[in-house]
Chains A and B, each alone.
Chain A
């Protein structure tokens, strides 16, 4: 009997091949679109997290209130002990000190006179300590366009665009003109050792990256840090986790009214990232569910039509003495087989295309010029575990439910009536 049904399934293309193709296409689109949205939206968040917001950020209350100005006069003063207590309290989070600073980069000519000047977005990161994870976090080796990484104190990396604008090349010495923690002017010389391009317009305009110890010297911020960033385990932002940690931390320091008391903010609690995170979640949710729903409807209909078409065959089988329950069950089993095969093929193809987009990406830098927010200039998909089973919803569930509904007719109708439809 099983052999008989399998033969029927294989030979009747409108019963096997067609529905499998329809299911596979639907599932493929669902999986691909989901990975794509996730990738684009997630990359944007990750980019902002790594370069400026962290998944979590600890600052002084005063600094937090004026975060957009990076007021280093309100920096965290004993950053080393804060860092070690954070590492103790939240060992699963990677904590790193950062100093963000503004300033003017001055490129002198051979006589020491100013040849070119430009505003810099400075970033002091832990480059040289043996335990540093920052170089990798900011993807600096891969972003290097010319020259080499920072290996000694007094060295700096500069964004490639900025370097071109200033006319500096690796080996040149530039002067950073900024202000110290106490408000007086500071001048500090750096040797440019390499140029970088991160692939994010907002960064590539004027980034200057130095070791945090150098930044501390330059800005007179001994043992201070503007911010301590925290990165969650697993490398991806989870709003729930981040908010929970921030809440717990802030409860400990709630009673201090000092401007210098530390506060912790999740990425979503910083600036307009919150609305972006919720926008992202909403849109990922909406687009994915619309898609899953639409595909589910299409596939459900395909299941329904495919089964209705076969009432005649069912009538014959019932007339031969097959039981209704058996006819119904075989219909469902068939749709499970179709759904599983279709969903498997569709998921495989969808993941394949998503993987292509994850590895190669699509360059959209042209569209990103002048963007204020840090957005990736390369659209990439991101395959998440969900993508391995997301396709089952439209693929398997709807196909089977469609068949189930259609199959109800087998029970409802008098067998004689199934024939009427057959004779017609």
Chain B
């Protein structure tokens, strides 16, 4: 079974008196364990598609089936449940809770899952170890560098070991060294935990790590190519 099944999906936004079509007739499947990117210039619809896959928004036409759930048909409760149990988000601007410690930020998704304290502690420490921030557990986001913040965000997205992580321009605010650092971290998590990653990006550094590239142009899929293993090894 595919992790994601998108069929004839369109998304229109009301604009002035008319409508603006952000996505046109998208057809797409993504399987478990993929490391795939939606690539395209600004305004091509990457974020819109990612938001729909993350049940933060709904299709206007067609269907997006994520982990067996048809996004447009979910109630608010059901879509919250899907996000809570199976999805992780990583944003361009990190979106950490500023007054909470690194530990608390990472723990938050586990609080929503109502896991017992001991289990939460173990999972948070594991996640911090993955991103190499064990010693920053007590720090707060304002005391961290951009790269460290994004690693906290990765830990937060990964801590509950979701099936699918959606990352929208995760490197846009980072320098090259930090970009490669977090991409390597995500690549390792993808390999070790078999977590599916879907990126939205136009950053060449990110594109270099992808094993599948879906090119969007003006809301349509322009190209969908799988990168051969030899090529990745070379980069």
Contact = CB atoms under 8 A, between A and B. Distances in A.
Are both chains from one complex?
yes
Interface of A: 1, 4, 7-8, 11-12, 312-313, 315-324, 414-416, 419, 422-423
A4 B108 CA distance: 8
Given A7-B100, A7-B104, A313-B97, A321 B87 contact: yes
Given A11-B99, A12-B99, A319 B76 contact: no
Contacts of A320: 83-84, 89, 108-109, 112, 156
B77 interface: yes
Contact of A422 (B51, B95, B99): B95
Residue in B56, B57, B82, B96 with the greatest tally of chain A CB atoms within 10 Å: B56
Interface residues of B, number: 30
Contact of B51 (A4, A323, A416): A416
Contact of A318 (B80, B91, B100): B80
Contacts of A423: 91-93
A415 B111 contact: no
B25 interface: no
B85 interface: yes
B74 interface: no
A8 B95 contact: no
A129 B225 CA distance: 112
B111 A323 contact: no
Contacts of A315: 95
Contacts of A4: 100, 104, 107-108, 111
A323 B76 contact: yes
B84 A419 contact: no
B33 to A, nearest CB: 22
A416 B166 CA distance: 14
Interface string B62-85: 000000000000001100111111
A322 B99 contact: no
A415 B84 contact: no
B219 interface: no
Closest 8 CB pairs of A and B: A321-B84, A321-B83, A11-B99, A416-B57, A416-B56, A416-B51, A12-B99, A323-B80
Contacts of B108: 4, 317, 320
B54 interface: yes
B56 A419 contact: yes
A418 to B, nearest CB: 9
Nearest to B105: A316
B75 to A, nearest CB: 10
B83 A422 contact: no
A321 B111 contact: no
A407 to B, nearest CB: 15
A324 B76 CA distance: 8
Contacts of A12: 98-99
A110 to B, nearest CB: 87
Contacts of B80: 318, 321-324
B100 A319 contact: no
A321 B85 contact: yes
B159 to A, nearest CB: 10
Contacts of A322: 80, 84, 112
A12 B111 CA distance: 20
B115 to A, nearest CB: 11
B143 to A, nearest CB: 13
18 contacts: A1-B112, A7-B100, A7-B104, A316-B96, A316-B97, A318-B56, A318-B80, A318-B83, A320-B108, A320-B109, A321-B81, A321-B83, A321-B84, A321-B85, A321-B109, A415-B56, A422-B95, A423-B91
